[in-house]
Amino acid sequence: MIKRLIGGSKRAFGMHRPGRNLDVYPDDVFLVSYPKSGNTWTRFLVANLVFPEKNVDFSNLNDLTPDPEAMSKRNLAEVPRPRIIKSHQYFDPRYQRVIYIVRDPRDVVLSQYHFDIKRQAIEEKFPLESYVGRFLRGEDDRPYGTWAENVASWLYVRGTHPGFLLIRYELLQSHGMKELAKIARFFGIAADESRLKFALEQSSADRMRELEKKQAHLWSSTRETRQDKPFVRAAKSGGWKSELPQSSIAELEKAWGKLMTDLGYQLSTRSATESSSSSAPQLATVGAAPEGRYSE
Amino acid sequence: MIGHLIAGGKRLFGLHRPRRELVILPDDVFLTSFPKSGNTWTRFLVANLAFPEKNPDFGNLEQLVPDPAATSKRDLDRMPRPRIIKSHECFDPRYPRVIYIVRDPRDVVVSQYHYHRKCKKIDDNFPMAKFVARFIAGETCPHGSWGENVATWLVTRQNDSRFLLLRYEDMLSDTAGALAKIAAFLSIPATGERIARAIERSSVGQMRKLEKTQSEKCELTKDTRQDLSFVRAASAGGWRSDLQDTLVAEIEAAWGPLMRHLGYELDSRPGSDSGSSSPIGLVLNGASR
């Protein structure tokens, strides 16, 4: 009752965090991804690209690319428009302009594992194999669906929509200039090479690490987490090849092989390609994608 | 501000309608569909199957198979479990089990057109062409476009044991077969006799009769035009006479591959098979907003 009273009065003054119930404006642009898929890096890139004069860091990141899970309804309503909003939401029909960042789920699960240790959701010794099982079944405290549900709900529904831009984390790393140019075009920003370069440099892993050291206490996603573990971790792709148990790789590929292949992620277990159609969470039975459309 | 305070106070006592903020329980089953796809008929069928002793009608439908957009949080919290809940939402990963009803979008748009007249959202002479354009763009209701709503569920849950896909058209042609599937999905031991009775009590004739006397009691029909009925044609294929060829072609151009996947035969032959060659094989090619 007390809790509800507090909740009710917070709401009356717009002090609650709206999350999925954010009031959406038609000119909002959303930076959407499953968690641990390069969203924060993309926020840095986009903020540096759009607001080069603002000196983007962890202290003003939420002001420039607001997060409805970390900010009040009232603050969100005061952000100058058009807003650039961070989101981890599965499909929301109200989002009209979406940049969707996708990352190899084999790397996502590793990143999420380490982040869950940092935020003390699991112990340091928690077995990685059972963590992968939970990840696959969507059994954790994150309300965003499984990786595949989240990705498929956007990709197969808005994939060819002009208001939708798919960015692969891996390509953003290997071909930063080219991918960032796509993002600039999506925002209608005429960005020359020097502006793109500036944004990339200001958002490099090294620079973000430096900033994190000084500002971890200033940012909602790192404030109440273990300070002996960094938020900006490997910032690399392919770590799964050495760090994930073979059985876990097979499990992921068996469940999501079709979707991974559609995205251009090569499967390492041959059998996964054939058996993926018979496994439990069946995806993408509706459309068939030409292989490797998004690979380079 | 006053509005905020009232909303806050309502919330305090659980009198608000939770909508998407519904607290979902692990044994909930959701009766989901895009609007105007046979959801109310299915609610009647399910209610008559699961609670025959309650004499389901428009007066108590909201208690038996509630809609979180029309029922208070308090009532939803107090319902006996397992709950069977009505929904028009796009994919929601929290829904543990889902019965999804899909209907030919060419009939859906005609049905929605007439329902919007009944709700006084459009005039009697509102141009159908304009309505179809808004329908394709997903602007006729807050649940995405028809294609988006259907596709979000199919690409994430089709062939999953927690998901039962039913076509409205199949429900019409073999109601007993469809209801037997629903009964099995809900683990209701239903004899042929029990199923037959549920079908009879949910017939169009019966629903029309109930609507005449109870239209003011029901959330779906109160405050709407009483000269138009909620239970309308209750048939399939009406689009063939009610929709112009050009409008049929527009719908098929937007959602052809998805419609074909669902077994809805296309009437128009859009320039080659645009669907299979579209980039990421997408269900929804041209649906631009």
pLDDT digits (tens, 9 = 90+) for B259-276: 999 999 999 875 544 444
Burial class from Cβ neighbours inside 10 Å (0-12, 13-18, 19+) for residue A119 reads middle
pLDDT at A235 (0 to 100): 80
Which segments within B127-279 are labelled E, that is strand?
Answer: 163-167
Task: Give the pLDDT band (50/70/90) at residue A273.
Answer: low
Q: Decide: B84 and B31 in contact? Cβ < 8 Å.
A: yes
The yes-or-no verdict on residue A53 having pLDDT over 60 is: yes
What pLDDT sits at residue B42?
A: 98
B280–A152 CB contact, under 8 Å = no
User: Domain limits at B253?
Assistant: 16-277
Domain count across chain A: 2
CB A113 within 8 A of CB A248: no
Burial class (CB in 10 A: 0-12, 13-18, 19+), A130: exposed
Q: How far apart are CA B173 and CA B170, in angstroms?
A: 5
pLDDT tens digits, residue range A108-127? 999 999 999 999 999 999 99
Nearest to B280 by CA among A108, A283, A89: A283
Asked if residue A32 belongs to a domain, the reply is: yes
Mean pLDDT value across chain A: 89
> Which residues of chain B does A293 touch, with a Cβ-Cβ cutoff of 8 Å?
279-280
- Assess whether pLDDT exceeds 80 at residue A19: yes
Tell me if B140 sits within 8 A of B150, measured CB to CB: no
Rounded-to-integer distance, Cα B286 and Cα A67, Å: 31
Q: For the stretch B231-270, what's the b/e string if a residue is b when 16 or more beta carbons lie within 10 angstroms of its beta carbon?
A: bbebebebbeebbeeebbbbbbbbbbbbbbbbebebeeee
**Residues of chain B contacting A152 with CB distance shorter than 8 Å:** 155-156
Tell whether A292 is covered by a domain.
no
Whether residues A144 and A252 share a domain: the answer is no
CA–CA distance, B251 with B274 (Å, rounded to integer): 14
Token readout for B244 is: 């112009």
In B3-62, the residues whose Cβ lies within 8 Å of chain A are 4-5, 7-9, 11-12, 14, 20-21
CB contacts of A155 in chain B (<8 Å) are 280
Q: How far apart are CA A269 and CA A251, in angstroms?
A: 10
The CA distance from B20 to B39, in Å, is: 18
Query: Per-residue pLDDT for A78 more than 70?
Result: yes
Query: Is A291 inside a domain boundary?
Result: no
- Average the pLDDT over B57-72 and give the result: 95
Residue B5 lies in a domain: no
In a domain, B58, yes or no: yes
Closest CB from B4, B138, B261 relative to A12: B4
Residue B263 in contact with partner chain A when CB distance is under 8 A: no
**Together in a domain, A91 and A29:** yes
In this predicted structure, which of A60-69, A221-230, B131-140 has the lowest mean pLDDT?
A221-230
For residues B256, B261, B265, B268, the Cα torsion angle rounded to the nearest 10 degrees is: 20
pLDDT surpasses 50 at A51 = yes
Count up the domains in chain B and report the number.
1
Q: Residue A270's domain spans which residues?
A: 245-279
Does the beta carbon of A145 lie under 8 angstroms from any beta carbon of chain B? yes
* A259, A203: one domain: no
Judge whether residue A189 has pLDDT over 80.
Answer: yes
Complex ipTM value: 0.89
Identify the pLDDT of residue A289: 37
Q: Report the pLDDT value the prediction gives residue A290, as an integer from 0 to 100.
A: 33
Q: What is the average per-residue pLDDT within A196-220?
A: 93
A290 in a domain, yes or no? no
Are B8 and A20 an interchain contact pair (Cβ–Cβ within 8 Å)?
no
Instruction: Please report, for the domain that includes residue A189, its CATH number.
Output: 3.40.50.300
Lowest-confidence region among A207-211, B33-37, B133-137: A207-211
Within a domain: A126: yes
What does the pLDDT average to over B191-205? 97
**How far apart (Å, rounded) are the C-alpha atoms in residues A13 and A4?**
14
Chain A hits for B15, Cβ within 8 Å: none
Q: Is residue A295 part of a domain?
A: no
Share above pLDDT 90 across residues of chain B, in percent, rounded to a whole number: 80
Strand partners, B30: B85, B98
With 0-12 CB in 10 A as exposed, 13-18 as middle and 19+ as buried, what is B110?
buried
Q: What is the rounded distance in angstroms from the CA atom of residue A33 to the CA atom of residue A86?
A: 9
Q: In CATH, what number is assigned to the domain containing residue B259?
A: 3.40.50.300
